Amino acid sequence: MNLGKTIFTQLVEFLPIYEFRQCMERYNGNYKVKSFSCWDQYLCMAFAQLTYRESLRDIEACLRSAQQKLYHMGIRGKVSRNTLAHANEVRDWRIYADFAKVLIGIARELYLNDPFGVELEQTVYALDATMIDLCLSLFPWAKFRKQKGAVKIHTLMDLRGSIPTFIRITHGLIHDVNFLDAIVLEAGAIYIMDRAYLDFARLYRIHQSLAFFVTRAKGNLDFKRLYSHPVDKSTGVQSDQTIVLKSFYPRKGYPEKLRRIRYWDAKKKKRLVFLTNNFILPALIIAQLYRCRWHVELFFKWIKQHLRIKAFFGTSENAVKTQIWIAISVYVLVAIVKKRLKLEKSLYTILQILSVTLFEKTPIFQALSDTEPGENMGVSPNQLNLFN
């Protein structure tokens, strides 16, 4: 008997299909589509991410080899590389961007109370961007250098659970600091960023929004010290000062007081200088918060190593953005599954298991945990009861 659902089908059940249809209708995704719907496209691309497919031909070969299982996996249309290539080319990437944002909202609620290294009640965000190099002759829209193309993934990450909350994909020429203009600031939240985002007018906008920032100062910062506060140098904090800016344009951009903290990192043998508008938290906590910014660097490293965002299935801007957004949604989906099933395994381990078990008809909890066959498996809802 053909009992049970494939692991891929069970994984898809964690996706909010109603919200996907809303995203699809918002951009007329299925307009004049007869057989291969946006949902089919999403599932095929998600399959490619989960199983590390390298090309459209690769996707086609793998899915056609399991033709009899596709209908039960939710893929209704006929899978072919030409159809999938056309879908990636013409169907609005914003469908998948909006759906990824829906999944991000779900994941943030699940990880709301997770620790991130510093005990704080406020929401703490880290800002950064990563570059994906492209061939300019194949991707002429991705302008970066004279003979080199690139896209940038600008990311705002909630450090609780390492969930990206806002992402913007641009070509490589867009400077990181412009990302601050696109963020909807949250009062009371703390935004951690490196020196690439040091623009005093934009930082003052964060201050006026009743939010806080922590960033690093540049070596040529011209300032006037107003006060010095006592510090415990054994913690690594060398000084804690209240300052104002002296240069004309920086002071025009940020006319109020700033807090300057010098910190000695004993592990890296390096002196760090931080700027913040938070005068309440201890200086050591400010230094520890900046260290937590590396969560977003680890996120970029993780998705580049374990998701398909460095080799693309299409060369148009729409195809590239579609693939990146679906990759991000798969990352968030795995994070949701990990939390809802209360799994102890890392996201990397879960992805590795999924990559080789998607066609198996095993309970997903059993496949992703250390549960032995027969434990907590329950009864299939399709199984008839022989004895009443």
Per-residue H/E/C for 186-234: CCCCEEECCHHHCCHHHHHHHHHCCCEEEEECCCCCCEEEEEEECCCHH
Is the model's pLDDT at 377 over the cut of 50? no
* Cβ pair 341, 368 in contact under 8 A: yes
**For residue 382, with 0-12 CB atoms within 10 Å meaning exposed, 13-18 middle and 19 or more buried, which class applies?**
exposed
* Other Cβ atoms closer than 10 A to 282: 14
Identify the pLDDT of residue 31. Answer: 84
* Other Cβ atoms closer than 10 A to 210: 11
Domain range annotation of the chain: 7-96+318-368
pLDDT band at 384 (very low <50, low <70, confident <90, very high): very low
* Cβ pair 74, 9 in contact under 8 A: yes
Who's near 231: CB < 8 A, 6+ residues apart?
237, 238, 239, 240, 283
Query: Which DSSP state fits 372?
Result: P
Of the listed ranges 12-26, 255-269, 295-309, the least confidently predicted one is 295-309
- d(C-alpha 296, C-alpha 289), whole Å: 13
**pTM exceeds cut of 0.95:** no
Portion of the chain with pLDDT greater than 90, in percent: 67
Question: Which residue is listed with tokens 């965002």?
Answer: 309
Identify the pLDDT of residue 325. Answer: 95
**If phi over 0 gives left and psi between -120 and 50 gives alpha, with beta otherwise, what is residue 314?**
beta
Is the model's pLDDT at 219 over the cut of 80? yes
Cα 55-64-72 angle, rounded to 5 deg: 115
Cα 334-163-173 angle, rounded to 5 deg: 110
Identify the pLDDT of residue 268. Answer: 85
- b/e sequence 43-76, b meaning 16+ C-beta within 10 Å: bbbbbbbbbebeebeebbebbeebeebbeebbbe
Question: Which residue is listed with tokens 């300057």?
Answer: 260
Among 117-126, 235-244, 296-305, 367-376, name the most confident range. 235-244
Of the listed ranges 127-131, 304-308, 371-375, the least confidently predicted one is 371-375
pLDDT band at 3 (very low <50, low <70, confident <90, very high): low
Give per-residue pLDDT as tens, 59-102: 999 988 888 888 888 888 888 999 999 999 999 999 999 999 99
Average pLDDT in the chain: 89
* Other Cβ atoms closer than 10 A to 344: 9
* 248-267 mean pLDDT: 94
Of the listed ranges 123-127, 161-165, 177-181, 319-323, the least confidently predicted one is 161-165
